[in-house]
Amino acid sequence: MDRRMRALVEFSAQVLYVVQRSHVSHDRAFQRVLRQNRRVARLLPLKVLYRVSHDIVSDYYTIRFLEKRIYGKTGGMKRAAKLWLLYRGLESQYLQGYLENVERLRRKLLRSLPRAPGSLEEALEEIEDPAERLAVKYSYPRWFAATFLRLLGGEEAEQLLSALNEEKWWIRVNTLKADVDEVAERLLDKGVVVRRDPDLDYMLEVVDFEEPLHHLEEMWRGEIVFQDKASAMVVEALEPEPGDEILDMAAAPGVKDTLVEQLTGNRAVVHALDVSWERLRRTRRVLGLYSASPAAVGLVHADSTRLPLRRATGKIMLDAPCTSSGAIGKDPAIKLHLEDRGWVQRFPEIQERLLEEAVRAAPRGAVVVYATCSLLHFEGEEQVSRILSLGGVEVEEAPVPGSPGYRGFPRVSGLVRRFFPHRHGTQGFFVARLRVR
């Protein structure tokens, strides 16, 4: 293996290690490892290092399955990275031009294995358990694949898991600063092909692009916001109007609050709460960039499980902390975090406390929009069913497009909304609108 490939394997293995041990995103792990290994950037472009490490994290479960077939057990991160190179990397277009003598490298990798590996397709045919087959094919924990087999059935579960692996981009045009048509034309001139969304006139679906989107000057000028369409639907479900007083219980990084002000022309008052000072500092910068009036949005450092309210507000937005299982396309590290069931189960507990506090603090007739960037039923339908069972609140039909909730929740399913990557081209999201009685 030549010098560049050794560096690539070592770098990617370190990123994989940091993701797994530190429970951080791929991007954060990548930056951490890069700071410690600056010399590797002299051997390979950063975009190659990023893409390879990203794909190794995304393919982690598939590679570990193949490793067990070959070695009888799993080993270190370097071995996983080498197997990825053999099964995926040598054929990838983005590594072409950086590999010397691909066939010689392939033969060398094959000779290092204790037994002939066989193809992934052959391995999949030998798996009898449908959940395990899906988990290996699309690289997810088995329990995660089994959940959607049960909720959606085999064909649609496969469509979902496949689409969830793909990164999808949406652009929200900040109409406080720019015109949607003019922005779309400028983006096209820069090689960014977009499509106007039929549901939200300020949203653009990114169809194709040539250069990294975060290099666009429109973003740095605050004219566009990278916000998923499903995320915008959380705000739309609240139906903000000029003169509203809104409580955002988990505000950081503030993107939804900037949409509230965009939709109301900076004429709604938002109390933006977050438990972290650091996240609130970032929120302040976001609000300034997107021209949300400082007089309209007040930042409050507080724990929303114990709301510090002098008076209640008529509209409450709770985009609750969650597993972010609907955002795997943006961050494949979430897949590895999902393997930690203790980590997964801590979120429903937090969601229960936040939702109970929202209902307790709201006046009669108030609207509470509860949302999670999650595909999992126990972070969506089960939470709403539970709060209904406590009394004092009812669920209204969410005034946004999307799909009904999962079957099996008779008081909830037809009224809440779910967004799926394979159906709507968005992240996975759950949105419910509640009315306090």
Helix (H, G, I), strand (E, B) or coil at 27: helix
Contact 309, 302 (CB under 8 A): no
Contact 178, 223 (CB under 8 A): yes
Contact 373, 322 (CB under 8 A): yes
Q: Where are the beta strands (DSSP E) in 245-375?
A: 245-248, 269-274, 297-301, 315-319, 367-372
What dihedral angle (degrees, nearest 10) is formed by the CA atoms of 13, 15, 21, 23? -150
CB crowding 91-123: b at 16 or more within 10 Å, else e: eeeebeeebeeeeebeeebeeeeeeebeebeeb
176: closest CA among 28, 56, 292? 292
* Length of the chain as a residue count: 437
Task: Choose, from 152, 292, 344, 373, the residue flagged as catalytic.
Answer: 373
379: closest CA among 315, 303, 321, 306? 321
Tokens representing 334 are: 């979430």
Question: At 185, which helix (H) or strand (E)?
Answer: helix 180-189
H-type alpha helices, 326-380: 333-338, 341-361
Residue with tokens 């690289």: 139
Q: Is 322 a catalytic residue?
A: no
User: 337-346 — which CB contacts under 8 Å span 24+ positions?
Assistant: 337/23, 338/140, 338/141, 338/144, 339/141, 340/23, 341/143, 343/23
CB crowding 160-183: b at 16 or more within 10 Å, else e: bbebbbeebbbbbbbebbbebeeb
Which residues are marked as active site?
Answer: 373
